[in-house]
Structure 1
Amino acid sequence: MAETAILSALKVLGAALAEEVKSLATSKISDLRSIYANLKLNMNKISTELQVMQGFLNEIETDHPSNESQVAWIKEVQKLANDIEDIVVEFAYLIGNQQFGGKSFYLKKLFKEPKSLIAFKRIASELLEAEERLKNLASIKERWLPTIEKKNEEDSNFSNKYSHNVAVFAHVVDEDHLVGITEDRVKLTKWLNFEELQLSVVSVWGMGGVGKTTLVTSVYKRERKNFDRHAWVSISQSYTPETILWNIISEICRDEKGVTIDATNMDILRLNTTLQNLLGEHKYLIVLDDMWDPKAFLDIRDTLVDNHRGSKIVITSRMAEVANLAPENKRLELKPFSETYSWSLFCRKAFNHEKNHSCPPPLEEWARKIASKCGGLPLAIVSIGVMLSLFEKTESKWRQLFDQLSWQLDNNPSLDPLKNILMLSFKYLPKYLKNCFLYCCLFPEDFLLPRKKLLRLWIAEGFIEQKGRSTLEEVAEGYLMELVNRCMLQVVEKNYFGRVKRCKMHDTLREVAISLCRKENFGLLHEDNKSENADGSTRRLSIINLRETVNHDVCLPKLRTFMSVDNDVSSSPLLSMVFDKSRYLTVLDLVGLPIETVPNAIGDLFNLHYLGLRETKVKCLPKSIKKLQNLQTLDLWLSQIQNLPDGIVELKKLRHLFAEVEVDPTYRSFRTRTGISLPKGIFYLKDLQTIQALESNAMVVRELGNLTQLRSFRIMNVKENHSVELCKSLSKMSFLSFLSINASDEEEILQLEGLNLPQLQKLELRGKLKETILESPLFKISGTSIQSLLLWWSQLQNDPLPSLSHCRNLTRLILKGAYEGQRLIFQEGWFPKLKRLQLDIMPNLIQVEMEQGTMASLEEIWLRELKKLVEVPKGIQHLVSLKWMVCDDMPVLFPSRASHKLFHFTCVVR
């Protein structure tokens, strides 16, 4: 973990030597020139030293140090890296603060002020001290720490040790105690016995501790007799092709009578030849357990001969990339157990001496809570269940154990195998993913992490690096998918076109992450009564689920992140302290707090990248907001802010602006929300990617075209006479993927025939449309890329479906007040990818018909306020993928209760 602190320090060091800092070198004042020369020299020296130290840390084990001296040394390295980051951030703050309002004017002012000279001399002195500390740490390393060679061996032993322990545990587990794997065992057995002659690969994957090895072992023991030769090999992270081949040969020879081969001193060529001879014309089964890198298989693939005898390779892994070595129809992803299976396995372990393994009634409440904390993870259930079986069976003791569960996981040696298996997943994360992963545990347990917000927070924290021409948001989404594919985050919900919408951390994995956050000073959680003790070194603080005022006298000068999640605290000394004392905050997220004002002191938070006031009661922003020169995200969504101060145009790095005011939370009326009014200069903020939402006027639609980087845009109060200019401006946005246009009222016509956005994915139009719009480029050309389409209050007289059917990639279609006719017919072959269809507020609609072969992928139908539709849509039984039909405010005669008996889907009436 110390290396991630170094990475952060290196980033700010690089930024400190950027253009505005270099301008100091041109000063005619000799004192400043001398200070700058020394600062630049010291920064370069420190940067070089940190890079070398980072290389050393990359080669040793920092997550599981082998002795106390190494623990102490790594902690000092981390502390120094954080201190260096603080010094350089303060340096950048001084420069930026003086430059604000006009670079040349303030630089002249800076050169004349003795206080500034004193501040720069102090920073230069602190950097010199940091350089000396670096040298001292290097000297300590040479005197007291083990050599890299010895540590490399220990690191390898760590990985092999715990991988081996899991494999041994799985091999000796009593099959009578196996629960919840029957279905997966049948599927895997079927694949192994499938009568195909060519060599085939099967993969079983899932998070650490989910039971991959246990399942495969169970099948392997039963089915290996059907193969002439077989081998089970555990693949360590530090594998070599020679080691894998040697282990396979050794396993085959151990189980085959009369076959004796000493492969100890063979080179790679002889190992290849020997294994190929052993496999020969035999039908074989090889299990490659716990593989971390697909290259481990690719390196030996050519040696595993395809002799057309029906041989099988089974690979287990925690990574989707490795699982993809098998064809799609031979990949088995293991999920955590259901509540029923979890409880059954828990009782078998925790109450192994009770009759039928039944839970004593006085303990059931706390036993179920403890079992639930395991999150369906078999290894956690078994480990914690066995631990609990040793404690006395009293209600008070088990209540105490539930309260101490996090502590037990961190400190009880009997739970070390569980903790270490989960730690392996973290240990082998690439460096660039470690901070991203740890950040996720700063949210409440079972919190659904919204993809877009999480990516913006990672960017604000500086975790995301630029890669080629990709945006930071695109790189961040790649990081998120890596964590998902490594089973470090669980996908809870996808949107209608397959992208992750919300994800969560597994409870047990989150406990491990919280422990790491605490030890590495990454961040602290203050949650209900389970308070962490923040101090002057705390860098991230998350306040969760508090209902009473938080009293903290501690000063947090090094704080970089302050987040409030699901709180009900209107004011707090802690919050005031953050505004006044934590000057170098990067993230300030106060979502949902019932605060009404933002202090003027917020302008002093020069390092602020993310400001979240979502769903607060704030009505206006102070003028000092213009001083937040590093601000990237300003989230005012559903606050009470309708106008922004003119100084907003000074925020040159702003990327995302959210500001809507809710008018009608029922969504029944035409105008449910309003946008905000922005000053003219906003259209020169070239980095803007998101604006939701903006109130339209003649100036807005004319200047809008300057924002060529926009990806997501919602505009309100559009009038018919704005249409031509609006289409011209929008057509300049070559990256726009989400567009929402809202007319000023129900009778205002949106004339968008001139709009062509071939990259558009989501389109929302709220307002009256002419029939010709459906034959315009917006639907004929852009329609091929549109995946989500919402037409509200369009008042179309003709059936829109024939024209919309050209949008073959649609996954969601919502028609609300969009059609005034009587019949809608969905013809064969239309909307092949559609998953959700919503028909809403069409007072004249009397019939909906669905031909066989239409909407082949449809999963949901929502019917709302269709006053004359008294019959179930004709042909609905043809929709074989349909899961739900939701009926809301439909006629009394609508036979909804009968539909679930007649058809294969569930009907919900509200």
Structure 2
Amino acid sequence: MKKRSMIKKGFMGAISRYARLPSDLNTLHKIGVEIQRIRRKLDEIFQSIERLNIDLDSHVLDDSVEDCGLMDQHCKDDVTMVGFEDEYKEIVDKLVEGENMLSAISIVAMGGAGKTTLARKVYTSSAVKQHFESLVWVTVSQKFKVIDLIIEILKQISSDEDQSRKIDDMNEYEVAKKIRDILMLKRYLVVLDDVWEADTWEQLNRTIKAFPNAANCSRVLLTTRKNDVANHVEMPTHIHALKCLDEEKSWELFSCKALPSYRRLSIGDLDEFEKLGRKITRKCDGLPLALAVLGGYLSKNLNTQAWSDVLLGWPSTKDTQMMRGIIALSYKDLPNHYLKSCLLYLAAFPEDFNISVRALISLWIAERFIPHTPRHTLEETANNYVTELAQRSLVQVVQTSSIRGWVVKIKIHDILRDWCIEEAAQDGFLDVIDGTTTGQIGASSSHSLISYRCSFQDSSEQIFQASPNLRALFGFGLSSVTFPELRFLRVLHVENSSLKNFSELIGGCIHLRHLMLRRCGDVKVPSSIRKLLYLQTIDVRGSLEVSSSLWDIPTLRYVHLDEISLPRGVHIPQTLRELHMGPTLGDLFEDPMPILEMLPCLVVLELHQYTPGTFSFARQFLPGTMSFGAQGFPRLQELRLVGCDFNKWTMEVGTLPKLSFLSFIHCDLWEEIPDGLLHLPSLRFISMNTLKDYPNDSTLDGLRQKGCEIREEEC
């Protein structure tokens, strides 16, 4: 455009154009040479694809589980810290310098101001990691149980990860004392995120002083919306009042969301967008959450009329009410009702809950929120939905895969969650009942509709009354629960709870598609589970006993078990996409691969071995040979082996054609790593914790030369 505006008219213009002709011809020649180079490179790539016999279409479009969930850098809320650079440095300096005695830093600001983002960036900084020997992060939230918080803290600082089941059985004093004993010998940092009550610190130390002052520069970092909370911690405390972003920093954050760099080149009137955008940012009063959500919305509406409409319709209210209006605007702009349902569904999880994307996708599929689209699997479409919500800043990305970059965990800001809870209740979509709420399952808080879904959180009720039409039931932190008969239930998702009558209930839930029981004590899955002919997902890790009749269910897609008999070949469900399990004692000397490799749809396989109840790798998986046949595992992309020992590993040519990630942790390979790995056309990443035992392994050297990344994973 600049060049075109410089061209003059008339005689002088003609002279000017001819004078520049040699320069223009030289530029065109360079462009032509570059195009030829790119064409040659593409030809080489496609020749390599043909030579390696890679089916490009099926690999990219049909079999990729989560490649559609890849995140651009601008979407990652946990690494975007526009405007907080100076405050970040100040807080890091105060944590690693200063007095020897235990002290605290409190980050105080209103909701949506970026407290957690700043704290997370500090927590993950190299200076903090190098300075402190033990790092702990827990989210407190408005409703918390002391025992749950300190158990989580102990699990994070305990070096013996195999004791997690024992920790769950400890009482409050035992857990607090164990924390004290460990931290007394270490320089530690404890982050308490989202603290609401002034006496939270006292409650954590009420049975015994769990966090000792060992005069070794240990620190506490907390985030809160309340000044009285920040002042109430019983130790020297520096209060850091987080300021709202100034106008220039507001524009920087907004523009990286609304006008990402990869889209700017296609925008003709960029100056006009910037003029409107700067007016919009001034309206947001420097609130990062408002800037991010509004920027995400406008990035999907790149026309000046839409941007002008935002200014014309700006609400007269401030702070929270302004934020609610922005959320409603972004929600209404979601492209279809499926995606709107997927967003409202996040309200079923507790405040500040880290949501597993894989678990969430299985829930969405069970609820039929994911439509069938040409040449894409349901999982691919669901991952597109996750990416869409993240790009709009309606969810926060907590964790991405360090290997491939796709989204692994997300969470929803509590302001957004509160809005979703109200919206879901008004529509009869979902009811959320916590420990301070009374009501019956399926009785919507609007009192005018019957909700088809309900989420109970931190409740001690013994027996729940339910609408007979209930479709989905969530439970988090429930005590001694007895469920009623729920004949139409499609989703039962319960975590960290005690269930009384599960064995009697489950046989009657013939429409169930998703069954999740995590950390639910002595739950037994009876043989009547074979009646659940529509079941797609079962995750009962931590349950004592699972009937082998599970394998009679023909629709299984995702199976997560601690242990069960390995199914006989005739019973194996051909629909299985993910299998996570550990072999039982009777299978220790049998190679499971000849059976499992026949699964035509299997994409993820994880086998692990430990002693039930202790999580100790004392019993090992010891088949004579682990073998992979020539036609085995046609679609497997991820293979994880944990605590599995074998004295020989054979691989026939043609096996595992789509395998891209291989992990073997706590595995003793009695011979050298098999050279058959060199013939896997798609292998890109290997993770192992025994790399030092193979310093000169020729197979590993060959894999590196082929571009395979090999990582040593810490134990």
Aligned 1:21-40 pairs, distance under 5 A:
none
Letter in 2 for 1:561: A
Aligned equivalent of 1:679? 567
CA distance in structure 1 between the partners assigned to 2:374 and 2:251 by the alignment: 45
Larger helix proportion, structure 1 or 2?
A: 1
Is 1:515 matched with 2:413? no
Taking structure 2 as the reference length, what is the TM-score of the superposition? Answer: 0.52
Aligned equivalent of 2:399? 493
CA distance in structure 2 between the partners assigned to 1:760 and 1:584 by the alignment: 39
Aligned equivalent of 2:561? 659
Is 1:564 matched with 2:475? yes
Aligned 1:879-894 pairs, distance under 5 A:
none
CA distance in structure 2 between the partners assigned to 1:733 and 1:655 by the alignment: 16
Q: 1:758 to 1:789 in 2, by over 3 A?
A: farther
Aligned 1:627-776 pairs, distance under 5 A:
627-641=531-545, 644-660=546-562, 675-680=563-568, 683-695=571-583, 698=590, 700-716=592-608, 718-719=621-622, 721-724=624-627, 727-728=628-629, 731-742=631-642, 744-745=644-645, 748-752=647-651, 756-766=655-665, 767-769=667-669, 773=673, 776=675
CA contact (8 A) 2:348 2:430 kept: yes
Letter in 2 for 1:201: L
CA distance in structure 1 between the partners assigned to 2:539 and 2:244 by the alignment: 49
Letter in 2 for 1:556: S
CA distance in structure 1 between the partners assigned to 2:284 and 2:508 by the alignment: 62
CA contact (8 A) 2:683 2:708 kept: yes
CA distance in structure 1 between the partners assigned to 2:255 and 2:534 by the alignment: 57
CA contact (8 A) 1:446 1:505 kept: yes
CA distance in structure 2 between the partners assigned to 1:690 and 1:632 by the alignment: 11
Aligned equivalent of 2:270? 201
CA distance in structure 1 between the partners assigned to 2:309 and 2:683 by the alignment: 36
Aligned-residue offset at 1:182? 3.7
Aligned-residue offset at 1:293? 3.2
User: What is the SS of the residue equivalent to 1:805?
Assistant: helix
User: What is the SS of the residue equivalent to 2:705?
Assistant: coil
Higher gyration radius (CA): 1
Aligned equivalent of 2:685? 787
User: What is the SS of the residue equivalent to 1:488?
Assistant: coil
User: What is the SS of the residue equivalent to 2:564?
Assistant: coil
CA contact (8 A) 2:591 2:625 kept: no
CA distance in structure 2 between the partners assigned to 1:806 and 1:317 by the alignment: 55
Aligned equivalent of 1:425? 330
Aligned 1:212-361 pairs, distance under 5 A:
213-215=279-281, 290=298, 292-294=300-302, 296=303
CA distance in structure 1 between the partners assigned to 2:344 and 2:254 by the alignment: 34
Q: 1:514 to 1:720 in 2, by over 3 A?
A: closer
CA distance in structure 1 between the partners assigned to 2:520 and 2:388 by the alignment: 34
CA distance in structure 2 between the partners assigned to 1:317 and 1:640 by the alignment: 58
CA distance in structure 1 between the partners assigned to 2:686 and 2:278 by the alignment: 38
Q: 1:525 to 1:770 in 2, by over 3 A?
A: same
Q: 1:772 to 1:180 in 2, by over 3 A?
A: same
Is 1:813 matched with 2:701? no
Aligned equivalent of 1:622? 526
Aligned equivalent of 2:65? none
Aligned mate of 2:453, from 533, 540, 545: 540
CA distance in structure 1 between the partners assigned to 2:594 and 2:577 by the alignment: 18
CA contact (8 A) 1:743 1:749 kept: no
Aligned equivalent of 1:796? 694
Aligned equivalent of 1:825? none
Q: 1:627 to 1:200 in 2, by over 3 A?
A: same
User: What is the SS of the residue equivalent to 1:773?
Assistant: coil
Aligned-residue offset at 1:484? 1.6
Aligned-residue offset at 1:788? 4.8
Q: 1:630 to 1:528 in 2, by over 3 A?
A: same
RMSD (Å), alpha carbons: 4.2
Taking structure 1 as the reference length, what is the TM-score of the superposition? Answer: 0.42
User: What is the SS of the residue equivalent to 1:593?
Assistant: coil
Aligned-residue offset at 1:506? 2.4
Aligned equivalent of 2:386? 480
CA distance in structure 2 between the partners assigned to 1:647 and 1:755 by the alignment: 33
Deviations for 1:59-110, whole angstroms, at most 9, x for unmatched residues? xxxxxxxxxxxxxxxxxxxxxxxxxxxxxxxxxxxxxxxxxxxxxxxxxxxx
Q: 1:612 to 1:706 in 2, by over 3 A?
A: same
Aligned-residue offset at 1:689? 0.7
Aligned equivalent of 2:95? none
Q: 1:615 to 1:777 in 2, by over 3 A?
A: same
CA contact (8 A) 2:634 2:655 kept: no
Q: 1:203 to 1:628 in 2, by over 3 A?
A: farther
Letter in 2 for 1:470: H
Letter in 2 for 1:688: L
Q: 1:508 to 1:317 in 2, by over 3 A?
A: farther
Number of equivalent positions: 427
